[in-house]
Structure 1
Amino acid sequence: MNKWKRGSGLAAMCAMLLLASACGGGGNSSGSPSPSQPAGSAESSSPGSSKEASEGKVTITYWNGFSGSDRPVLEALVKKFNSSQDQIEVKMEIMNWDVLYQKLTTASATGQGPDFIAFGPENIAKYADLGVIAPVDDFYENSMIDTSLLPKNYDSLLHYKDHFIGFPMNYFAHALYYNKDLAKNAGLDPEKPPTTWDEMADWAVKMTDSKKGQYGMTLPAGWVYIPQLIWANGGDVIDYSNKTSLINKPEAVEAVKYWTDLVLSKKVAPAPNSDNLKMFASGKLGMMFDGPWMSPQFKEAKINYGVALMPAGPQKQVTFGSGLSMHLTAKGAQDEKIKKAVYRFAQWWFEKDTQKEWAIKIGFPPVRTDLAGDPEIIAENPDLEVFMESANIGQPWFVGIVNSNKIVSEVTQKSFELILMKNADVQSTLDQASADLDKILATER
């Protein structure tokens, strides 16, 4: 089993947000649900077990896929919420993410399932259109949380078709990981990481040593690595307002040419299907951009690494930034007591103390920007200082898109593999990708 993977729980959720097979999912090997002992309760909840307990508590069911190292942290926090008051009890069922989606569709069709659920933005449009999750406009109309404290662009993750559709759960962003020893050996200053595209390209060339099987950077095909480079050049993959393709526009073509030319002519990156995580952890890769879930693995490997903000492109400094959200289900919305109880938990989850404890114990940045630079969080995990700062330049993708999986497999992954692995012409390849993308997007207009 490959040790160097993106783990489970939150990191596995990133896998679905980014739709990349390199991200490993959590859960047991059989793929069956692995329900938790619900916090504050002696027995696991059963699906659809919402009720008002005999002692007057309102019991609400919560499904999620935090089945990795983040699981005990979440369970402890839910237990803390349950014991903090005597009106609401959250009963949680934790399972592998794939199993969760299978169960959700089936259970919702029969009026069963959870009262609220957590998942990524690529699922919002699908489950909102199916009527599985419900609008929560009144939660925000009543100012139950201060949305001005959310990271840049996070607000878009909570909206669908002019309605608020969810509550903030967590946040993560990409930053630049770099090997300080390789930088020093290449005559670079490891305390002054690259801040622009040209500087990053220069570092990549200087840290590459083909005789040692050592590469300066990585540029995997597909998902969000190349799209965020397109953003930095002022372009995008999708026009979200009109649901049309932008992938073959000049800004996108220029960005793809800049980096793929460097990879193909200077050989600064391994093959797109290489195990880049393992290469970095073994000291054979100079730079890669990824999320905070990688820090514990690189520390365990005793790599002398640094973390920096994504270098700025010609038009702007930007990185991939997204997060999970919690969602009230249509089932939960039918009962006013249940709905109010879910709202109260969502409000408590956003509180400063809750977010601070969550961030410290799982190593992810908090979803509240007023905790950026918090000395207790940074003391526990210094890397989070950069990841919290990345919230200022974060940008999500696939917001409001139903067919995100199809777009990755049939458009971005396919076209970038042709360019990187077969040296296909960039313009004509992206022209074909654009035509394919428009056909998929046409079904969503």
Structure 2
Amino acid sequence: MNKWKRGSWLVTICATLLIASACGNGNSNTSNSGSNGNPSAGNTESASPTTAEETKQTDTKPEGKVTITYWNGFSGSDRPVLESLVKKFNESQDEIQVKMEIMNWDVLYQKLTTATASGQGPDFIAFGPENIAKYADLGVIAPVDDFYANNMIDTSLLPKGYDQLLHYKDHFIGFPMNYFAHALYYNKNMVKAAGLDPAKPPTTWDEMADWAVKMTDTKKGQYGMTISSSWVYLPQMIWANGGDVIDYSNKTSLINKPEAVEAIKYWADLAINKKVSPAPNSDNLKMFASGKLGMMYDGPWMSPQFKAAKVDYGIALMPAGPAKQVTFGSGLSMHLTNKGAKDENVKNAVYKFAQWWFEKDTQKEWSTKIGFPPVRTDLAGDPEILAANPDLDIFMKSADIGQPWLVGISNSSKILTEVFQKYFDQILLKKIRCAKHA
């Protein structure tokens, strides 16, 4: 690893608090920052407004059909696409009617708690992996081992690490809904102005650091890259250096281990001493679009916004760290509720919808219309998908190096806000001096 000037900034992120949070009692406050329900993901157009008012499909139930209720928070630009697909499913057969209710994520979680207490609520639901442990422990969602035992979908086609999003306490707990991974966005005009070749994006940490330094001119308010306290930045740094955040087998912290500390020191020192990054919580989207930020890594939901802002940008796979090439990869899953599991006909109907959702044609239509990669890896390179959105080529390839985190941790939101974001912000703002690693 290239040794940037260290100063006196040695890094740890309060391992004791992390351990306490990881072993918490499940009272997490779910983060809801986008239409797709994952706090890192925004939505397919994260600038799109959402409404707290519930929207419902008003399909009437044809006689003889099993009706299943489906709750989700796809209330942004992806809502009409999902509504169209559910309508297509309903019209494709005469056995099952999906009655879908779409609402803002905050409203969904409030309603879910109340409805569950009274024995009401949906038969199946979609949300992000940060909610699985909480709602499984509360008895809201049910295991679905028989769905996989009957080979209703081919799990070998799922992106790397996605299997973790479907398991909890040795049981299958959900069905695949959508997928996303992070990639490196770079501003081609800034790259050219720095004398670099936009056709040859960085492939290693040191190359990315070199690009960042060359594109930085603080007198002009111009920065080479963003180094942020965002909950998806830090784990990628640590993984790429061979470390991890948590030992998931015994719920103990690993962030004070050498691999984790060295990784955060590398990037914190780059921000503090080389000044390649704007202040924490800056408007990275606005800066990137205005030519003031050279690089940032994020998901496919950013592409439509950069196109709308007429940014000449490029996309590349996340550069490799000293130990491996890795990126943040995750997604939303659908879950059978315990209410739905009590009726065998309802349960089987949910299973058939989940199976249909995984089919190639469904995934292709979903992917091309919302701009996310499909959840099936055998669609990588599909000409119809790439014709609709060439950017998805990199995001589909990113599935091979994707890795989720904090899966199955009840207090994931507390870990994110009270540990990672809080302390890394203080490190970047030079407000704390930190102890050496253990």
Same fold (TM over 0.5): yes
Aligned partner of 2:222 among 214, 228, 234: 214
Asked if 1:35 is matched to 2:61, the reply is: no
Shift of 1:26: 5.0
**Contact 2:48–2:77 (8 Å) recurs in 1:** no
Shift of 1:427: 3.6
Percent identity between matched residues is 77
Shift of 1:273: 1.6
Read off the aligned partner of 1:37 and give its amino acid letter: Q
Which position in structure 2 is the counterpart of 1:254?
262
Shift of 1:237: 1.1
1:141-189 Cα shifts (integer Å, max 9, x gaps) = 0000000000001001000000000000000000000001100110000
Q: Distance in 2 between matches of 1:129 and 1:227?
A: 25
Q: Distance in 1 between matches of 2:211 and 2:71?
A: 44
Q: What is the TM-score when the length of structure 1 is the normalising length?
A: 0.88
Which position in structure 1 is the counterpart of 2:18?
none
Asked if 1:391 is matched to 2:399, the reply is: yes
Q: Distance in 2 between matches of 1:330 and 1:217?
A: 46
Q: Equivalent residue of 2:229, what SS? A: coil
Q: Distance in 1 between matches of 2:216 and 2:205?
A: 17
1:281-340 Cα shifts (integer Å, max 9, x gaps) = 111100000000000000011100000000000000000000000000000000000000
Report matched runs for 1:266-415 at 5 Å.
266-415=274-423
How well do the aligned residues superpose, as a CA RMSD in angstroms?
Answer: 1.8
Which position in structure 2 is the counterpart of 1:14?
38
Read off the aligned partner of 1:271 and give its amino acid letter: A
Which position in structure 1 is the counterpart of 2:143?
135
Q: Which runs of 5+ in 2 are unaligned?
A: 1-31
Which position in structure 1 is the counterpart of 2:130?
122
Which position in structure 2 is the counterpart of 1:180?
188
Q: Distance in 1 between matches of 2:62 and 2:425?
A: 59
**Contact 1:65–1:97 (8 Å) recurs in 2:** yes
Q: Equivalent residue of 2:322, what SS? A: coil
Q: Equivalent residue of 2:321, what SS? A: coil
Which position in structure 2 is the counterpart of 1:3?
none
Q: Distance in 2 between matches of 1:84 and 1:109?
A: 34
**Contact 1:178–1:307 (8 Å) recurs in 2:** yes
Asked if 1:55 is matched to 2:73, the reply is: no
Q: Distance in 2 between matches of 1:360 and 1:318?
A: 25
Which position in structure 2 is the counterpart of 1:440?
none
Pick closer, same or farther for the CA change 1:299–1:207 going to 2, 3 Å: same
Q: Distance in 2 between matches of 1:175 and 1:203?
A: 16
Question: Number of matched residues?
Answer: 405
Read off the aligned partner of 2:38 and give its amino acid letter: C
Pick closer, same or farther for the CA change 1:275–1:54 going to 2, 3 Å: closer
Q: Distance in 1 between matches of 2:70 and 2:276?
A: 46
Q: Distance in 1 between matches of 2:384 and 2:217?
A: 40
Which position in structure 1 is the counterpart of 2:26?
none
Shift of 1:211: 2.2
**Contact 2:187–2:291 (8 Å) recurs in 1:** yes
Read off the aligned partner of 2:224 and give its amino acid letter: G
Read off the aligned partner of 2:401 and give its amino acid letter: I
Aligned partner of 1:238 among 243, 246, 254: 246
**Contact 2:140–2:338 (8 Å) recurs in 1:** yes
Asked if 1:70 is matched to 2:93, the reply is: no
Which position in structure 1 is the counterpart of 2:13?
none
Read off the aligned partner of 1:183 and give its amino acid letter: V
**Contact 1:176–1:290 (8 Å) recurs in 2:** yes
Q: Distance in 1 between matches of 2:435 and 2:203?
A: 28
Shift of 1:277: 1.4
Q: Distance in 2 between matches of 1:375 and 1:24?
A: 28
Higher relative contact order (CA 8 A, sep 6+): 2
Q: Distance in 1 between matches of 2:390 and 2:33?
A: 20
Q: Which runs of 5+ in 1 are unaligned?
A: 1-5, 43-52, 432-445
Q: Distance in 2 between matches of 1:189 and 1:54?
A: 60
Which position in structure 2 is the counterpart of 1:47?
none
**Contact 2:73–2:108 (8 Å) recurs in 1:** yes
Pick closer, same or farther for the CA change 1:412–1:295 going to 2, 3 Å: same
**Contact 1:18–1:224 (8 Å) recurs in 2:** no
Q: Distance in 1 between matches of 2:434 and 2:154?
A: 44
1:323-360 Cα shifts (integer Å, max 9, x gaps) = 00000000000000000000000000000000000000
Q: Equivalent residue of 1:9, what SS? A: coil
**Contact 2:41–2:301 (8 Å) recurs in 1:** no
Which position in structure 2 is the counterpart of 1:190?
198
Q: What is the TM-score when the length of structure 2 is the normalising length?
A: 0.90
Read off the aligned partner of 2:35 and give its amino acid letter: G
Q: Distance in 2 between matches of 1:101 and 1:401?
A: 18
**Contact 2:157–2:377 (8 Å) recurs in 1:** yes
Higher helix share: 1
